[in-house]
Every structure is written in structure tokens, then in C-alpha cells.
Amino acid sequence: MVRTLAERRFPVKKLVALASAKSAGKKLVFNGGEVTVETMTPASFTGVDVALFSAGAGPSRELAPVAAKAGAVVIDNSSAWRMDPDVPLVVPEVNMSAAANRPKGIIANPNCSTIQMVVALKPLHDAARIKHIVVSTYQATSGKGQAAVEDLMQQTRAAVSGQAVVPAVFPGQIAFNVLSDWKAGEGDYSEEELKMVNETRKIMGDDSIGVSPTAVRVPVVNGHSESVHVQFHRPMSAAEAKKLLENAPGVVLMADAYAPGKHPQPIHVAGADPVYVGRIREDLAVPGALNLWIVGDNLRKGAALNAVQIAEHLFPA
């Protein structure tokens, strides 16, 4: 988030970096200078205009209301407030207007996999109204944190050297494997899968949208990929979808016909802001339905960038 603020030249008069006591005293580079990390306390938010939270659900539940009461607009990246009816869940390209109604002074940043999907699907929804989404995710290890990336690396080194693979963070082997590593939700779905159901409906403002999700983690460092099947209330052709997406905000359309290796890939989108959409094709079994391949940087548009974009809309330079 700090790097994104600097890259996008957000109009910062003063940056206050807050964390737990164990991180206090660390230095962050910002706009050519250094910022010292301070211990987060209820008094930390006096005089703060925007509070970007990415400290987990527990600290967000405790201190986001404190920051809001002190006068800050809170933009929270955790799951703590996403489904609160008094907290807007915002993706700027999709529903920025929802941020104006924030009774608690808090705006929630959606889940990374939800963000990139709705950015790609919103223009299609506006044109033909989505009836049903079937989505399978291929999610990068960085979505679980830096320790998870390090676990992937150590597991990979062990596997290629013929040593025993001993997971340190993941519940099983992630090197040369795929697995579902999120907490259990209801009905044998993971929490991650249920987030995609509930958040998509809230962001799109349509509780009738059906969402059938399967989320898995893949041995990729950065960049989530999604295979998405979409059914509409009226038929949509691949040509129409491409036309709608070619100039859609936040989207890079890769419209070329199928060829091996010529599609959005996580290794190519790492560090990029847009959501990449390719392989748009008409479903062979369901007339009027489409299949898409959607890839995005889960740390940027899936988290930091989306939060900073919200702040940019609320506090334009």
C-alpha cells in the first residue's frame, strides 16, 4: 500500500505507519524519505484523514471504529466488515457510488479473487444482467502472506533435491501440487468460496445472481487466475462481450483467437494494475453463455491498488 501510494502520487501531506509493537521502529521508504513505524493505539488516528487498514480482521474490528470516530475514512482490507450492511463493499470500476453511504465511516475492500472477477464481469452484467456464474480459481501463494511464499520456495527446493517436503505454513504440499487451504465454511464450501458468493452479490447489487465457486491454491508466487462461466438473462455472444470489454475501465482485453501460450498468465501480470481477460468464447452446451479466463495481480488490484483507488476517488488531487 505504501509503495502504491507513492507510485500513484497520492496527495499525502504526512504518512503515519502503524503496526503492532513488534514492528515499531522499523523504517519504510516513502517518496524518497523514511517513515518510522509506530505502535498502533487508539490515539494514533487523531488528525488522520484516511486510514488504510491491512492488519487482519481482529485489529480491524477493534480499531477501525476508533479511527472512524476520530474522523478518518477507514478503508479496510480485511474480511471484518465486508458483509456488514452499514459498510459499503467497493470496487471503484464497479460501484464507487456505494462509498458515499458509509454510516460507520468504514469502507470495505473485497476479497482479492472477487475483485478481479467483478471488474471483468460488470460491463457484461450492465448489458445483459448475469444470471449464474461458475468460477474456479487458481490462486497464488502470496494471497496467504509472505510466509506462504517462503513455504512454497522451501518446499520446492526440498522436492527438487529429493528431500522430504515438510510444509511450514500450508496444510499440505503446495510445491508441484494444488490444494484448498482456506478455513471450512458451511455446506462443505471453504470460507474463500463463500466470500465470492456473498461479495459478488453485494458489489453488483443483485442478490439473485447465482455463484458456484471452487477455489484452489496453485504453486504460483503472485497473480490469481480464474476460469469463469457466465449465463445471462439474455443471450450474449463472444463478439459482443469483447466489444464491451475492449475499453472497459481497469480491463486489458486479450482478444486474439486461441493459440498455445497466447492468453493471460500470472507471470506476465505480476506488478501490473489492470485485470487481464482472454479466451472469451461461447459455451458449447449452454446457448447464450460465455466462458472467460481472468488473471490479475492479487497484491495490487486484489488488495493495495483497490484500496488506494477508493481513497483517490474520495480525496482527488
249: DSSP letter:
T
**Contact at 8 Å (CB) between 245 and 251?**
yes
Catalytic annotation present for 112:
yes
The one catalytic residue among 112, 233, 263, 313: 112
SS3 234: coil
CA distance 19 to 40: 5
Residue 89 DSSP symbol:
B
CB burial string 99-121: b at 16+ within 10 A, e below: beebeebbbbbbbbbbbbbbbbb
Of 210, 193, 225, nearest to 120 (Cα)? 225
Strand extents, DSSP E, 41-129: 50-53, 73-76, 106-108
Q: Which of 224, 229, 233, 313 is catalytic?
A: 224
The phi and psi torsions of 295 (rounded to 5 degrees) equal: -135, 140
The verdict on whether 268 is a catalytic residue reads: no
Q: Which residues contact 205 (CB under 8 A, 6 or more apart)?
A: 95, 98
What is the Cα–Cα distance from 238 to 311, expressed in whole angstroms? 34
Catalytic residues: 112, 224
